[in-house]
Amino acid sequence: MSKLKTAREQKNLTQEELSEKSKISVRTIQRIEAGTEPKGHTLRALAQALDIDENLLQDIAVTPEIVEVIDDKVITEVKEEQSNINYSQIKIINFSSLLFILLPPLNILVPFLLMFTMKQRNTLARQIISVQMIWTVMAPIVFMLGIFLKLGRQFTLVLMILIVLSNVFIILRNAAEIDRNKKLYYRLKFSMI
């Protein structure tokens, strides 16, 4: 469940009521609850309307854990998700896609299984798998477009190599970013799992 939806439901507000209170459109609220991260004015307006800290609405590895109602106020105790992240295991999950780069379903399945066996069910691991899912869907589409252009067998071979190398680059770039900044360089604004 999204952080905005959790906070909204804690305040017993509908999307429409939150929209009126925050002056943010219902559609924007729906997008945020579906996984888009709020920023800038939208983030401030929603946090102010819900009377909560802006950090509780952002996807910065902070998740609401325990909610208690005291004197009609909702107090959210927050637990840092980063304390549970083992970055060396995250890198292993990331690199596991590299081993199965020529077998596209396995470049998703192996990291997914590793995520559960290593108990790394966090946003970084989910984003790694989501990126691989998008690549697995897009690679055949790009390949088929290349074939339909009928530019010859050499072009098709070069295109296949470029598609595979693009995934190698994504995996290696994300690994470098995990080392440097403890985050992913290539990530989606939503999670597919």
Gyration radius from the chain CA atoms: 20
**From 1.10.645.10, 3.10.20.440, 1.10.260.40, 3.30.1360.200, which CATH number describes the 3-81 domain?**
1.10.260.40
The residue extents of the domains of the chain are 3-81, 85-181
Phi, psi of 73 (to 5 degrees): -110, 140
What does the mean pLDDT of the chain come to? 82
- Give residue 122's pLDDT: 86
In this predicted model, what pLDDT tens digit does every residue of 120-179 receive, in sequence order? 888 888 999 999 999 999 999 988 988 888 888 888 889 889 999 999 999 999 999 998
pLDDT at residue 74 greater than cutoff 50: no
Residue with tokens 């098709």: 156
Q: Is the pTM of this model over 0.75?
A: no
Q: Which two structure tokens, joined as six digits, stand for 170?
A: 């994504």
Rounded Cα distance between 12 and 31, Å, is: 19
168-175, long-range: CB within 8 Å, 24+ apart, which pairs? 168/98, 168/101, 170/131, 170/135, 171/94, 171/95, 171/97, 171/98, 171/101, 172/98, 174/94, 174/128, 174/131, 175/91, 175/94, 175/95
Compute the Cα dihedral for 43, 48, 52, 53 and give only its sign. Answer: positive
In this predicted model, what pLDDT tens digit does every residue of 31-60 receive, in sequence order? 888 888 888 888 889 888 988 888 777 754
